[in-house]
Structure 1
Amino acid sequence: MLNETHRNITINHCSLNYTIWNGGEHVMLCFHGFGLDHSSFKIVWKAIKETHTIYSFDLPYHGTSQFSKNEHTIRPKDWLALMEKFLASEEISQFEVMGYSMGGKYAMITAELFPDRIKHLHLIAPDGITTHFSYRFSTYPFLFRKLFKTQIENPWLFKALVKTLRTLKIMNNYSLRFAESQMDTEFKRSQVYHSWVNLRHFLPSLKDLANQINERNTPVTFYLGKHDKVINTKEIQPLYQLLPKSELVILESGHSNLLNSVAKHLKTKKNLNQPI
């Protein structure tokens, strides 16, 4: 059997592409961060391939997946239809879920939609727990969305805002540099726009998710980087405090290299014969 296979699920002209890395009998679904694609999880698969087979997705507006770029929003019910078709096609009954940064939102919604099928929820510096004012400002009101869209070709407002925040020291310089790196080309700005605007209603219900997890004693592990200035312990509190049995793993890492640190951590646990 080949170690790597590429497939896709198509519904209503939306194509969700994914890659399968074959390994052990346990199944893990993986959702990447912003600006990345399915390949970012290959290092995780290498660490756990003796026990796990990984299905790693190209999320909407990333990689080779194809989603509409009008302002029709993607909602959890749309994700449910895609995941139901995917699980039936691959004949998957039980699975673990892992989400990194932006992918944490997909991981949480998947866990919320399939509470009886999740064996373990892994959240790596997850986005989607705390909704920032800047996100609501740029995606919810119609006029602000239109203003945000102008920034794809003419990023004057974004540059002016960063300059002001830097001058007034409202945000730390690392976060500003991270934001600049995500908006430094027209392609990236378009990716940001559609990932925010078309997914503005794509959010987990933290209370419902926590209730389902606690009722079923589903294992949940949070992984944070000790030096991560993008997602820290404060960002995860609204969910973490609702999950008294969850595990928090702090790794010697920043945000961008956190998947490497998680892979090393999982490999160590495997070598110690501990469940991941």
Structure 2
Amino acid sequence: MGFLDIPGLGKAHYHEYGSGSKPLLAFHGYGMTGRQFHVLENSILKDYRVYGFDHFFHGESKLSGWSEQQITAGMPKAMVKGYVEEWFKLYGRQRFSVMGYSIGANLALILLEEYAGLIDEIILMAPDGLSVYKGFDFLANKPAGRLFFKTVTKSKWLAPGLIKGLKKVGFIDESLFNIAYNEIDTEQKRQDVYYTLNLIRLLKPDTAKVAELINKYDIKCRLIFGKSDNLFPMKAAMPFLSTLDNPDVHEVELGHWLVVKQLDEYLVNLRQ
């Protein structure tokens, strides 16, 4: 474990684990920490040494001197480079790979935009960032959506009611409902949801550029989707996938909650 002191941003906490020797910078999903990928011990972790970063408002990462106005305005995309530049200061400038699950995929893709010539592989699981997700876009970028989002997170009853409604209409499954509900049951947790999604709202990769760079540098690209994932399904990513020369694409018998032991077993079986 350690911290990267990123200028103008704050202290990004990271977890270091895995028995492999190749460095892999990893970004987790909402409500988790950089330790999320530890369950992939017999597959990914056999090949890689993971540096898993806690998102801000998660784990031990802390913004430094940011006002609420700055947070809601969003973190500039250029700041994502700070993760790698500060990591280089500790471990030396070298080749590396990136991995992202759900909202964490945005950071992995942005780093590929900036460091394609140094990246060996990108691993994306149930990735955000490959298409516009209308729900998040409404809440984060549309005036009416931003007002609604702020109102919901300030309320003790609106947020739980909304989550229950999403489950009732089948928009989220039981596992996602349990995770989401546990993330909004206190005022502090609701504030963290609001701050997190506002902070990252500008962190959207240029998918056309990403695809061009993956093809140009022949970067190994592994993408994993859940067949019953209603948040970031494979069908939404098809326009992006169709522009890649040799993507390694998998659709597994899981929902959005992908980083689990079953995925580790699935990946192990691919190696045999």
Q: TM-score range by the shorter chain?
A: 0.7 to 0.9
Aligned amino acid, residue 227 of structure 2: K
Query: Would the aligned equivalents of 1:74 and 1:202 in 2 still touch at CA under 8 Å?
Result: yes
What percentage of residue pairs aligned between the two structures are identical? 25
Distance across 2 between alignment mates of 1:186 and 1:63: 17
Unmatched segments (≥5 aa) in structure 1: none
Paired residue for 1:33, among 15, 29, 32? 29
Query: Would the aligned equivalents of 1:251 and 1:261 in 2 still touch at CA under 8 Å?
Result: no
The answer for the alignment partner of 2:200 in structure 1 is 199
The answer for the alignment partner of 2:87 in structure 1 is 86
Aligned amino acid, residue 99 of structure 2: M
Aligned amino acid, residue 11 of structure 1: P
For these two proteins, the number of residue pairs brought into alignment is: 265
Offset of residue 188 of structure 1: 3.0
Superposed CA RMSD: 2.7
Query: Would the aligned equivalents of 2:6 and 2:82 in 1 still touch at CA under 8 Å?
Result: no
Query: Would the aligned equivalents of 2:25 and 2:50 in 1 still touch at CA under 8 Å?
Result: yes
C-alpha deviations, 1:175-210, integer Å up to 9, x for none? 883654543433332222112212211100001111
Query: Would the aligned equivalents of 2:35 and 2:52 in 1 still touch at CA under 8 Å?
Result: yes
The answer for the alignment partner of 1:174 in structure 2 is 173
TM-score w.r.t. the length of structure 2 is 0.84
More displaced 10-residue stretch of structure 1: 55-64 or 191-200:
191-200
C-alpha deviations, 1:7-40, integer Å up to 9, x for none? 3333225111101125332111111100000111
Aligned amino acid, residue 56 of structure 1: G
Distance across 1 between alignment mates of 2:21 and 2:173: 41
Distance across 2 between alignment mates of 1:203 and 1:80: 14
Matching of residue 246 in structure 1 with residue 260 in structure 2: no
Query: Would the aligned equivalents of 1:22 and 1:53 in 2 still touch at CA under 8 Å?
Result: yes
Distance across 2 between alignment mates of 1:266 and 1:35: 24
TM-score w.r.t. the length of structure 1 is 0.83
The answer for the alignment partner of 2:20 in structure 1 is 24
Aligned amino acid, residue 70 of structure 1: E
Offset of residue 159 of structure 1: 5.3
Matching of residue 61 in structure 1 with residue 57 in structure 2: yes
* Inter-CA distance 162–264: structure 2 relative to 1 (3 Å threshold): closer
The answer for the alignment partner of 2:187 in structure 1 is 186
The answer for the alignment partner of 2:228 in structure 1 is 227
Secondary structure of 2:251's aligned partner: strand
Matching of residue 105 in structure 1 with residue 106 in structure 2: yes
* Inter-CA distance 249–173: structure 2 relative to 1 (3 Å threshold): closer
C-alpha deviations, 1:212-266, integer Å up to 9, x for none? 1111111111111233333211222232122131011122322224443332233
More displaced 10-residue stretch of structure 1: 233-242 or 193-202:
233-242
Distance across 2 between alignment mates of 1:243 and 1:58: 30
C-alpha deviations, 1:100-157, integer Å up to 9, x for none? 1111111111111111111011110101222233322222245643442232231554
Matching of residue 7 in structure 1 with residue 7 in structure 2: no
* Inter-CA distance 255–147: structure 2 relative to 1 (3 Å threshold): closer
Unmatched segments (≥5 aa) in structure 2: none
